[in-house]
A = this chain, B = another copy of it.
Amino acid sequence: MILPPRGTKDFTPELAILWKEIVSKIESVYQKYGFDPIITPIVEYWDTLKGKYGEEAEKKEIWRFRVPQSKKWYALKYDQTVPLARYFARFRPKLPFKRYTIDRTFRYDEPQKGRYREFWQADADIVGSPYPEADAEILNMMIEAYETLGFNVYLRVSDRRALESLIEKVGEKDKFIEIARIIDKWDKIGEEGVLEKLKQITDKAEKIIELLKENPEEFYPKEFWEIIDLVEKKNKIKIDIKLARGFDYYTGMVYEVWIEGFNRALGGGGRYDNLIGIFSKEKIPAVGGSIGINPLIDVGLEKGIFNLNKKTYTQIAVIYIEVFKEAWRIANKLRDLGLNVYIDLLRRDFKKQMEYVIEKDIRYLVIVGKKDLANNLVTFQDRLTRERKKIPIENLEEIKSLVQ
């Protein structure tokens, strides 16, 4: 009863502060690359999402429902991309349309480490450019975003067209999607598993495996090498033709973000030229990527990249000894100076007030006592450096320069 639904998460202040820092860093990188935010609703009409994610997702993963008040079917956002396509059809923004959305996503998955039923995605997409420079901009930006967050990632990169050439070469072009779906499971089921499954649908299974392991560059189109040429940090890129991510959906370059010692991708994306125009029945090229914030937090905390040390935005605790009203005025004056200030609201003694300060790890104290007040003073204290200083009340602005 007191837990949130299975697969959802409460963020304590420490976690929410970390989350805000992560979001703010991702946003600043997205903005550096010329992306602007849009927000679309959590709730969409089911009709809008229907048929966009494949049968499997529709049956198992989409949160869809009716409410007692209406006969309409609704669904919760399954990703940020179909809502973008709907948005695009509605507003017809000038091209290229470079937008980011950092928002919740809902998938009725089986919850596991780093995987939730309600989770946060930070998506950035470029709508309207068919050119390699758009793909490259996404790759450069994603590498920078993870670096800014302190993650030493590499990007597995490939191109649907390369795998298509490979499959065509062995003469199984017609079975491309089925074969790609099997190859996509390589990480989970391994070479043996892939071979076994391929054998069930083609007698070229061994040849395919052999070619995949060779990872032959010849299959990649010219445009792919133009993308790679524009990537700034080429050492972060691992070209891997076995990456067969979502080829129901992706039409060109695809990538996944990996970190050593974690068995799933932290994010990914690619080019998808058939989705954005779906509501307006046009072909609108698009390329984008998504950062999964929940696995980032879970892995980042586990690996010590993040910590939960920051427990509050409060900078100063005004501690009073008997003189609440004067302390209250001083607290409000400090707030007028733009400082984040706590004052006890429980009429507690000095010791209890300090317990709160220690629990929340508030760095600075302004102690208001009778003796000091008689001389129009307060005592300022830095709990970290242990410095103490008497400050005249008419001179409270001085505190601003003492607080970091």
Interface residues of chain A, those whose CB is within 8 Å of chain B, are 1-5, 8-13, 15-17, 19-20, 31-34, 36-45, 47-48, 59-60, 63-70, 72, 74, 76, 83, 86-87, 89-91, 93-96, 98-99, 104, 106, 108, 117-118, 126, 128-129, 131, 133-134, 137, 140, 144, 230, 232, 279-280, 311-314, 324, 328, 332, 335, 338-347, 355-356, 359
Contacts and interface: CB of A to CB of B under 8 A. Distances in A.
A328 B324 CA distance: 60
Copies per assembly: 2
Given A2-B89, A38-B10, A335-B32, A133 B341 contact: no
Contact of A314 (B9, B31, B230): B31
Nearest to A137: B345
Contacts of A74: 5, 65
Nearest to A314: B34
A144 B118 CA distance: 34
Contact of A67 (B32, B65, B128): B65
Given A32-B341, A65-B66, A90 B3 contact: yes
6 contacts: A2-B86, A5-B72, A10-B40, A12-B91, A65-B74, A94-B356
A127 to B, nearest CB: 10
Nearest to A11: B39
Nearest to A39: B11
A5 B86 contact: no
A263 B230 CA distance: 56
Contacts of A338: 32
Contacts of A346: 95-96, 128-129, 131
B36 A67 contact: no
A340 B140 CA distance: 14
